[in-house]
Structure 1
């Protein structure tokens, strides 16, 4: 098979990497599109959300050989690592995977020239963006099925976030990244 070579069309920009480590719902930032791809943005402002396809450039070496994981980032929600099953990497959102590619759905707040202002960004500043797709009706899925452990994680995260909001810490979501 031929080698696959992809070039970034832009990069994530924000100054919130430390905040991102503590937030479940992501941060505000921008996607800076390279000048040669600016024409490709025409019409994107009409969408409320966009899908970012990114290359996780910080994942190196051995971490690309990982095929089984436990979602360790959930420890801060009171979920013991022992309570989580070991699953195949393709059953997880782990950045550690053979091809470290991320898919992220973000709210598009505005377009300023080559800069897309977004909310709900879960990518580190400097992350290369490989592609952008609109999030439209044709992609929306009404009913999904998830494994039991995913439902349990969701329940515990919601429980933990609810307790934090009651204590006045709604803006300080717990650290979810290892």
Structure 2
């Protein structure tokens, strides 16, 4: 049975990139500005953490661009078709994304972060400190295509010309 619920943003992304792209998110700095509905001490203790886990909404996604059936990641014929739950992209029923980023500084309700792969204006649904103990348990594994596909994901944008050999 279908179930619906309402989600209210707790923050928005300020600054950083304005256009979503597939790669070169490394070094991207932005601010997660928590809504003033929260008390100033809602960020108390957060500065002790190195990383945050951010749940956000892909607000720029075209709602008609949903692909639940299996398809090749980035339309690359060298990679196998995988279903919607085998992807981490924006083409999802609820348009939710999860990102782990470095916390640089807490300034009141402004969280200065790096390597957040969400663009300016993105509604943030939740903010969680990264606990090492909440990471994967046991041995991890994955197919080879994500490693190939994400080789430049966190490369710096200013290194793009160096990577491609062009200037």
TM-score where L is the length of structure 1: 0.75
Compute the RMSD of aligned alpha carbons.
2.6
C-alpha separation in 1, matches of 2:85 and 2:67: 13
| Cross-structure match for 1:76 | none
1:148 CA drift (Å): 3.1
Distance 1:91 1:44 in 2: 32
The match for 1:146 is: 142
Give the direction of change, closer, same or farther, for the CA distance of 1:126–1:151 in structure 2 (3 Å limit).
closer
1:88 to 83, 90, 93: 83
Mark the CA change 1:123 to 1:136 in structure 2 (over 3 Å): closer, same or farther: same
Query: Where in structure 2 are the equivalents of 1:28-177 lying within 5 Å?
Result: 28-38=29-39, 39-72=41-74, 81-141=76-136, 143-153=139-149, 157=151, 171-173=158-160
In 2 relative to 1, CA 29–95 (structure 1 residues): closer, same or farther, beyond 3 Å?
A: same
- Unaligned segments of structure 2, at least 5 residues: 162-167
Runs of 4+ in 1 over 4 A off after TM superposition: 18-22
SS at structure 2 position matched to 1:64: coil
Write the distance in 1 (CA, Å) between the matches of 2:147 and 2:16: 32
SS of 1:69's partner is coil
C-alpha distance in 2, partners of 1:20/1:148? 21
Structure 1 Cα separation of the partners of residues 139 and 160 of structure 2: 27
Counting helix residues as a fraction of each chain, which structure ranks higher?
A: 1
Shift of 1:133: 0.7
